[in-house]
Structure 1
């Protein structure tokens, strides 16, 4: 996942220049999520791409927080360093989110967010960060997500198979830990799955 500052410029790069296709857009309320992928030989529409999301080699998630939702004074970070910091997480398919979280606990990894936790803090936001309530459909999906800290302090999140409707697979994310001392405005294409 990449945080972006201007969807039109991001589309110009990822769609027009890189040749990706917009699969779907999700307006969560305080932020908008765009999913992009490369079309396969048999794909004729974004719906064709969406049907095969669980077997795709790559999927790019772009997240845009509109200026009206930015609280530039929050923690002194400003809107660019927090809300448009670039790299957010990588995603992986797992057979079961609950089992992945259970196994993480048993192997000594720190679970930072259990499934069913829909608090703004679990989304790396705070109550003062957003004035727009989250869309109820987004909360249904986010309820199925979990976060696990990796050895370097990055996070992993598991997302239930129900979100995209493909049985037997969940999506596991690794989410980058924000480092206020590091400029994260430039990220290579290797961050794309």
Structure 2
């Protein structure tokens, strides 16, 4: 029997965000993702921002239908959902999953060099939950996005020998 007899793939993970400008700056400018598509759903008063890693921004279609097809045929997409008006509220709007009651944990990024990535994040003023030389598991880090969601920073090459 094939490993995946149904042909399923994990397309995307969705996180709700309070302020899309702040979140897009974090995910695009700090983590290097590209905005693949944006959809405004006026009747529901929310916007969807689909992000991912690309070789070249030229590969991202500009036509809305083609952009949607492009997003939903990929793997490893991050969807940020912004409910209009939340950016005007004081304090946290969403539960990050890492305070009580615990639930959602984190997303993870594979980077070529954890220390170099973390130096870049530190320079950008990113909040660290755990640095690579801290804790029981050395060589990986956890940072927080603007809404407090944790992002694990790891190197696949290091993880293969470290677990």
* TM-score higher than 0.5: no
Which band: TM-score by shorter chain?
0.3 to 0.5
